[in-house]
């Protein structure tokens, strides 16, 4: 039995196509090499001119045509059920974000690993916040793109207990090749236990959680009020007067500026504030975290 309900059908289509192909590859290559050997100039100094043969042409148009239609048919038959989701499928929302997968279960509970019960249809609703990703579970033979602004889906029935790779196959930037996780196929009892153990949903955006973790919110408010320094609210996209190397200039708060202000705060200090109050967070806040922080800033413009 295949790892999913689709595995066998897809593999059969592969076998049919590869089988026919291999037959022709070996056949044509053998005939070709035989001709090269048999009719080499040494053995066959004078070529025999042969007239075109319409029956032959029609034969080798018709036979490949029938064979490719057969291949089309096998591909179609194994594919068609992938688009018909059973009514009782368990819905799970997949969230693809540069460069992490997360899986949202009922009640908005999030898991970094896709855990599914065995022998139950599961529907994955695909959601992206940024660019196109593609959810690929090789063992299940399924893949569908996760497109921002588009409601794509896929489904399967896992038929074997175990752990399987989950990968991203549409190039999505810097850490594309690290956007991977696992699918765990478990018994129904374990699945119930897993759901119960999932932490309750917190509504806090990831960026805010990172800011809190690094105690940024100790000096910068998120509601527009002034604690020590400027509030994060309305910061993104604003024009600011800054002092760079003793000279005043005007900048727009964008990704690059935010990054430089976190990693090297004293380079451009906003006019009216002092140098040396904030420590550089280079090596503390990672690039990935930086992107989430910036996303969060954009959300509280």
Partner 1 sequence: MTEEKTHHPEPSFLVDTGKYKGLMAWLTTTDHKRIGLMYMYAMMVFFTVGVTLGMLMRLELFYPGQQFYGPQVYNGIFTIHGIIMIFTVVIPGLAAVFGNFSMPIMIGAKDVAFPRLNLFSFYLYILGAAIALASQFMGNGPPDTGWTFYAPYSIHTHTNVVAAVFGAFVLGFSSILTGLNFIVTMHRLRAPGMTFFKMPLFPWSLYATAWIQVLATPIVGITLLMIIAERWLRIGFFDPSLGGDPILYQHLFWIYSHPAVYIMILPAMGVITEIIPTFTQKKIFGYKAIAISSLAIALVGYFVWAHHMYTSGMSTTARWVFSLLTFLVAVPSAIKVFNWVATMYKGSISVKPPFLFALGFIFLFMIGGMTGLSLGALATNIHVHDTAYVVAHFHYIVFGGVGFAFFAAVYYWYPKMFGRMYNFKMANWSFVFLFTGFNLLYFPQFIIGIMGMPRRYFDYLPQFTLGQQLSFFGGVLLVTGFIIMLITLFSKKGAKAPDNPWGGRTYEWTIPSPPPQENFDVMPEMGLDEQPYDYK
Residue 64 interacting with partner 1 (CB under 8 A): yes
> What is the secondary structure of 11-29 as a DSSP string?
HHHHHHHHHHHHHHHHHHH
Does 55 interact with partner 1 (rule: CB under 8 A)?
Answer: no
Residue from 101, 105, 136, 236 in contact with partner 1 (CB under 8 A): 136
Q: Could you tell me which stretch among 79-87, 189-197, 211-219, 238-246 binds partner 1 (CB under 8 A)?
A: 79-87
Q: Exposed/middle/buried for 223, CB within 10 Å: 0-12, 13-18, 19+?
A: exposed
Determine the interface stretch with partner 1 among 67-75, 103-111, 112-120, 262-270 (rule: CB under 8 A): 67-75
What residues numbered 201-240 form the site for partner 1, per CB under 8 A?
Answer: none
Neighbour count for residue 233 (Cβ, 10 Å): 15
Binder to partner 1 among 104, 144, 266, 268 (CB under 8 A)?
Answer: 144
Interaction between residue 68 and partner 1 (CB under 8 A): yes
Q: Is 289 helix (H, G, I), strand (E, B) or coil?
A: helix
CB 186 within 8 A of CB 113: no
Task: Choose the stretch contacting partner 1; rule: CB under 8 A; options: 73-81, 101-109, 116-124, 245-253.
Answer: 73-81
> Of these, 121, 138, 205, 280, which contacts partner 1 (CB under 8 A)?
138
Residues 242-261 that bind partner 1 (CB under 8 A): 255-256
- Window 159-178: residues binding partner 1 (CB under 8 A): 165, 167-178
Count interface residues toward partner 1 (CB under 8 A): 79
Q: Which is nearer to partner 1, 106 or 163 (CB)?
A: 163
Tokens of 20: 């026919």
Binding to partner 1 (CB under 8 A) within 81-110 occurs at: 82-83
What part of residues 11-50 is at the interface with partner 1 (CB under 8 A)?
13-14, 17-18, 21, 24-25, 28-29, 31-32, 35-36, 39-41, 44-50
Q: Which two tokens stand for residue 103?
A: 């899986």
| Per-residue three-class SS string for 207-252 | HHHHHHHCCHHHCECCCCCECCCCCCCCCCCCEEEEEECCEEEEEE
Angle at 180 between CA 177 and CA 182, to 5 degrees: 155
- Among 65, 63, 3, CA closest to 27: 63
């Amino acid at each position: 039995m295949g790892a999913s309900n689709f595995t066998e059908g897809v593999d059969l289509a592969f076998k049919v196509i590869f089988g026919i192909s291999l037959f022709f590859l070996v056949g044509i290559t053998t005939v070709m090499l035989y001709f090269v050997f048999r009719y080499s100039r040494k053995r066959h100094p004078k070529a025999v001119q042969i007239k075109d043969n319409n029956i032959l042409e029609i034969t080798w148009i018709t036979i490949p045509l029938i064979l490719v239609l057969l291949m089309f048919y096998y591909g179609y038959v194994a594919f068609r059920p992938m688009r018909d989701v059973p009514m009782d499928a368990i819905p799970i929302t997949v969230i693809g974000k540069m460069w992490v997968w997360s899986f949202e279960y009922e009640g908005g509970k999030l898991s970094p690993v896709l855990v599914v019960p065995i022998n139950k249809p599961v529907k994955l609703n695909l959601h992206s916040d940024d660019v196109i990703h593609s959810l690929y579970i090789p063992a299940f033979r399924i893949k569908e793109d996760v497109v921002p602004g588009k409601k794509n889906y896929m489904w399967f029935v896992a038929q074997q207990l175990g752990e399987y790779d989950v990968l991203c196959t549409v190039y999505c930037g810097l850490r594309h090749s690290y956007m991977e996780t696992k699918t765990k196929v478990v018994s129904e009892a374990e699945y119930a236990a897993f759901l119960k153990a999932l932490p309750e949903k917190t509504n806090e955006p990831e960026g805010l959680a990172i800011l809190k973790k690094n105690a940024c919110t100790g000096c910068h408010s998120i509601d527009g009020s002034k604690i020590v320094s400027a509030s994060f609210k309305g910061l993104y996209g604003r024009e600011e007067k800054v002092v760079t190397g003793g000279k005043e200039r005007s900048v727009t708060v964008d990704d690059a500026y935010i990054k430089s202000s976190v990693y090297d705060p004293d380079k451009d200090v906003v006019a009216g504030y002092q140098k040396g109050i904030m420590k550089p967070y280079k090596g503390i806040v990672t690039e990935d975290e930086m992107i989430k922080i910036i996303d969060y800033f954009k959300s509280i413009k």
